[in-house]
């Protein structure tokens, strides 16, 4: 099947989801930063006691927060998170995540299970990995680093 058909039929669960970095609303931005640094991921999801998402906080929010408030790391995450996020179900087709990102201009999409509990993250990088996996002979053979010219003459 072609890529377009796969995106319309494959469920989100076939993507390699990112670990969900969950944080409670009363924790500080500092603890969110520590978590993001430890896990090397640019987004934490604020969840309620039942594991349902309430909002998210990303690297971009951190940047804007520090510019406007140098002491921002001590603020509570519930005051700095954004309630704008997109969520998709594990059984939804991949196209739904793609549309959600495009529609709201988001980098991350929260993945929830049937009970509405947040179970993972996907996003623009997940989509790129999916497409690269679909075209391995075209994409994955490309050199990581290349120069137009050699530094030295060959054999010199």
Residues contributing to the site for other proteins (CB under 8 A): 2-4, 7, 30, 33, 36-37, 42, 59-60, 62-64, 66-68, 70, 73, 95, 98, 101-102, 105, 107, 123-125, 127-129, 131-132, 135, 138-140, 142-146, 148
Nearer to other proteins (CB atom), residue 67 or residue 156: 67
Q: How far is the CB of 114 from other proteins (least distance, A)?
A: 27
Q: Which long-range contacts does 59-66 make (Cβ < 8 Å, 24+ apart)?
A: 62/29, 62/33, 65/29
Q: How far is the CB of 104 from other proteins (least distance, A)?
A: 12
Nearer to other proteins (CB atom), residue 38 or residue 114: 38
Residues with Cβ within 8 Å of residue 121, at least 6 apart in sequence: 17, 18, 19, 20, 21, 41, 43, 45, 108, 109, 110, 111
Rounded CA separation 52/64 (Å): 26
Q: How far is the CB of 38 from other proteins (least distance, A)?
A: 11
Residues with Cβ within 8 Å of residue 32, at least 6 apart in sequence: 21, 23, 44, 57, 77
Among candidates 121, 4, 116, which has minimal Cα distance to 58? 121
Nearer to other proteins (CB atom), residue 63 or residue 116: 63
Q: How far is the CB of 75 from other proteins (least distance, A)?
A: 13
Nearer to other proteins (CB atom), residue 20 or residue 36: 36
């Amino acid at each position: 099947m072609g890529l377009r058909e796969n995106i319309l039929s494959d469920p989100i669960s076939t993507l390699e989801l990112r670990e969900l970095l969950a944080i409670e609303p009363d924790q500080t931005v500092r603890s969110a930063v520590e978590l993001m640094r430890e896990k090397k991921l640019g987004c934490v999801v604020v969840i309620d006691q039942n594991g349902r998402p309430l909002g998210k906080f990303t690297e971009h929010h951190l940047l804007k927060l520090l510019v406007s408030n140098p002491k921002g790391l001590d603020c509570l995450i519930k005051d700095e998170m954004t309630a704008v996020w997109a969520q998709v179900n594990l059984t939804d087709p991949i196209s739904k995540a793609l549309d959600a990102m495009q529609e709201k201009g988001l980098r991350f999409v929260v993945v929830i299970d049937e009970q509405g509990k947040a179970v993972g993250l996907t996003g623009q990088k997940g989509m790129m990995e999916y497409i690269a996996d679909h075209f391995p002979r075209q994409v994955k053979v490309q050199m990581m680093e290349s120069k137009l010219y050699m530094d030295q003459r060959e054999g010199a």
